[in-house]
Amino acid sequence: MELIEALRATLGRDHVLTGADAKRYGREWTGLYSWTPRAVLRPADTAEVSACMRLAHEAGVAVVPVSGNTGLAGGTTAEGVLMLSLERMNSIREIRPAARIAIVEAGVVLSKLHEAVDARNLAFPLFFGARGSAMIGGNLSTNAGGSNVLRYGNTRALCLGLEVVLADGRVMDLMSELHKDNSGLDLKDLFIGAEGTLGIITAAVLKLVPKPRAHATAMVAAPALPAALDLLNRLQEATGGAVEAFEFMPRVYMQRLAAVHPDWRPAFEEIPEVSILIEVGATAPRDVTPGPDGTVPVVALLQDTLAEMLEQGLITDAVVAASEAQRQEMWARREAAAEITLSRHPLVNCDIAVPLDQVATFLERIHARLPAIDPGAETLTVSHLGDGNLHFTVYPTSADAPLADKITETVEDVVAELRGSFSAEHGIGVSKLATMSRRKDPVALDVMRAVKAALDPKNILNPGKLIP
């Protein structure tokens, strides 16, 4: 109680929540994890975060940072310990169009940043379904991916600088606005993807890009994945690398979508084996200025490429969006993935990455092996095909924990055979700790533990997450 009273004196009583007031912070949005925090701290600025960490460090009490709490790996579980919410630190401090940067606090909601930079004809190219509640601090702490990684990279690639509060309350100013800086170790990258285990990100310098003046968006039906990969490579060559999204939705996914949303218009009259959502973004006047007949060049380029592949039999159907409403309708099918995935239980949810030309191989191998483990198991796949990231879900016939473990290990086996990763963009949290123990290079784990011990010797920052 002495610690809680000291925290109340620092933040004000209204911003140290306990009991019923803290209840809404005690679960992830998936419903798979729930807990009762000792208290929820809501600092207003970096100085207050620093003060909270000094008090927690002195008392040896664990602190779990939380932003939008939209994670999928249990990374914010906080039973009996302090949670530190960045939600009040939601200021967009500065947008500098000439330098194409935004300086923001960790509690800024991703969609709010999108809106703010859109008004300046710029974009922050991190997009995924939870953007209306996910916050920048969480995006950075999990190195979030999304649908535009193909062109712009993960969150790490979109960050120039950070402000971080360390376990003992010291504030580290890494708020560089530089594209080149060889002054020692690049400490920034230690904290991006560290899930709050090394420090609490309080602010960031983010890269912006020109806002696309036009999009060419299409749904494409293909007989098999190799044809889809050929389409991606052709489009990348034709557009100079302007493909922003290339999303794979197989037949089973589209069938589940139809079952969950029977009122939605289907993409095609008959569900194909492979459906691909393609989006190309263009900024150059030559690509976006309509011709005499009103045709937008980038849209015409996509249409021509698809027509050529139709003639060659490499794809079987295609629909190009003729309006923004049709474009949003296409995206709604893809962004329903989380809803569709979580509409059934029990489930084994895997977030993996394999080389681009090995996606089909992964699916073939895993579907060949699953019947020996659980003959009645069903699967669901949706994929950021352009970067090799698959969200692969297995629905076992029972909630038996050993069965789920066996399924997970089988997925791990296939991923390892293909030199892939068992975690692509959702992070480790607690859900993948066992996999980290089994599959991560032991030397790499030793180095991670050494870094953790050096920066957080009392192990009070999000303990029990990320590092086995």
Residue-wise pLDDT tens digits, 219-267: 999 999 988 999 999 999 999 999 999 999 999 999 999 999 999 999 9
Question: What is the spatial distance between Cα 214 and Cα 220, in angstroms, rounded to a whole number?
Answer: 19
Which pLDDT belongs to residue 251? Answer: 96
Domains 214-334 and 344-447 are alike in CATH topology: yes
Tokens found for residue 32:
């798979």
Q: How confident is the model at residue 218 (pLDDT cuts 50, 70, 90)?
A: very high
**Domain ranges for the chain:** 2-85, 92-210, 214-334, 344-447
Which pLDDT belongs to residue 403? Answer: 98
Which pLDDT belongs to residue 220? Answer: 97
Region 355-382: what's the mean pLDDT?
97
Q: How confident is the model at residue 1 (pLDDT cuts 50, 70, 90)?
A: confident
Question: What is the spatial distance between Cα 465 and Cα 428, in angstroms, rounded to a whole number?
Answer: 7
What's the one-letter identity of residue 89? M
Which pLDDT belongs to residue 311? Answer: 95
Decide: helix, strand or coil at residue 15: helix
- Is it the case that residue 79 has pLDDT exceeding 90? yes
Which pLDDT belongs to residue 165? Answer: 98
Locate the DSSP E strands across 16-116. 16-17, 39-41, 63-66, 82-85, 92-96, 101-105
C-beta neighbour count of 118 within 10 angstroms? 12
- Is it the case that residue 181 has pLDDT exceeding 90? yes
- Is it the case that residue 11 has pLDDT exceeding 90? yes
Which pLDDT belongs to residue 201? Answer: 98
CATH top class, domain 214-334: alpha beta
Number of helical H runs and strand E runs in the chain: 16, 18
**What's the pTM value of the predicted model, to 2 decimals?**
0.95
Q: How confident is the model at residue 30 (pLDDT cuts 50, 70, 90)?
A: confident
- Is it the case that residue 300 has pLDDT exceeding 90? yes
**Ramachandran angles phi, psi of 95, nearest 5°:** -125, 125
Question: What is the spatial distance between Cα 101 and Cα 332, in angstroms, rounded to a whole number?
Answer: 29
- Is it the case that residue 28 has pLDDT exceeding 90? no
Mean pLDDT score of the chain, rounded to an integer?
96
Using alpha carbons, select from 96, 234, 216 the residue that is nearest to residue 161. Answer: 96
Out of 59-63, 231-235, 442-446, least confident range: 231-235
Q: How confident is the model at residue 32 (pLDDT cuts 50, 70, 90)?
A: confident
In CATH, which of 3.40.1350.10, 3.30.70.2740, 3.20.10.10, 3.30.470.30 is domain 344-447? 3.30.70.2740
Q: How confident is the model at residue 72 (pLDDT cuts 50, 70, 90)?
A: confident
Q: Write the pLDDT tens digit of every residue in 111-141.
A: 999 999 999 999 999 999 889 999 999 999 9
CA 115 centroid distance within chain: 19
Q: Write the pLDDT tens digit of every residue in 188-198.
A: 999 999 999 99
**CATH number of the structural domain 2-85:** 3.30.43.10
**CATH number of the structural domain 92-210:** 3.30.465.10
Region 390-398: what's the mean pLDDT?
98
